[in-house]
Structure 1
């Protein structure tokens, strides 16, 4: 049964409200809350529903390859079937197992760059196994402004890590032949 458009719109609205609240908390924690409203005005949201067919096997299959999101924040809702894995900073892959009433919020490369590398954008992938199809809903917050760390987040202890860039230009780089050659696409695109 397909969801009604009102249900999808309502879900997207609640995800966007959560994303905005989490982003506000992050900015407050970094001491740069004054930028929150400007970020809201230059952010749009994309809701994607994903289906990962069951491979009918005990071995894990790659449902979606390892990557970092290009956007600011991603809000993920898994439905009953696990499969999202994140790579720790030391390279270990771990299965993300939220409670049935929890959502997963991940930092993307736009927020990593905007915070001058103070936030980590984890590599993640979807691995599926067994005979049950995996479904998820993901909200991406996409910036339409210049991504540039504010002066408050750049100092002697935190020198500039990324050159300013436009999100659309970065996305084009990521899907280009040149971008495909790099694991850390943000660093390759605009790293200092």
Structure 2
């Protein structure tokens, strides 16, 4: 998963500018780490065939997130115009989300995907999720080349771990503050 994530970041960097993968892959993303979770969404006993929210709208804290969802599906992404789009499971396919750390590092050129999980059946839904993140002490700041000439910076520089702690909840067993984003933490009023 580490090799796959690094390859995905290399492709993303190529899409941002010529030679960016050579300039930034090792210097900015060389010390990234990852962790995997098996996520089990248990529906309430009174689920209707319509839909019940399994995890509310949120963004991921990572640089990127790689997701394998079971055949039940239920992952939805929010489009730029606010519509919820179903991300149907496809055999031998993975879903890649841009996370908050990558949004800040790219100065907003890449958008952290707002997503949620909905449960449509009274069966457990499983996902295998790999979060690829900067190292804890990394200062997240968009390089000048990424910001571009004439474009304002839209995020204060911040230390990765401080953002992760900002998103942590005080509730036992509840890691993320659903709905908080990197804009809430480090966004500049531009």
Which has the larger helix fraction?
1
Alpha-carbon deviation of 1:41?
Answer: 2.6
Partner Cα separation in structure 2 for residue 161 and residue 176 of structure 1: 25
Q: Which of 14, 23, 31 is the matching residue for 2:9? A: 23
**Aligned residue among 136, 144, 148 for 1:151:** 144
Structure 1 residue 76 displacement after superposition: 0.1
Structure 2 spans left out of the alignment, 5+ residues: 171-175
Q: Which residue of 1 aligns with 2:173?
A: none
Deviations 1:78-135 (A, max 9, x none): 1111011111111111111141111000000100010110001111111112133211
Unaligned runs of 5+ in 1: 1-14
Count of aligned positions: 176
Task: Assess if the C-alpha contact under 8 Å between 2:57 and 2:179 holds in 1.
Answer: no
Question: In the alignment, does 2:187 pair up with 1:191?
Answer: yes
Query: What is the TM-score when the length of structure 2 is the normalising length?
Result: 0.85
Q: Identify the structure with the greater strand proportion.
A: 1
Relative to the length of structure 1, the TM-score reads: 0.84
CA-based RMSD of the aligned residues comes to 1.9
The answer to whether the Cα contact below 8 Å between 1:16 and 1:139 also exists between their aligned partners in 2 is: no
What do residues 13-69 of structure 1 show as CA deviations (whole Å, max 9, x unaligned)? xx3222111100111221221110123432110100011124453131111111011
Partner of 2:156: 163
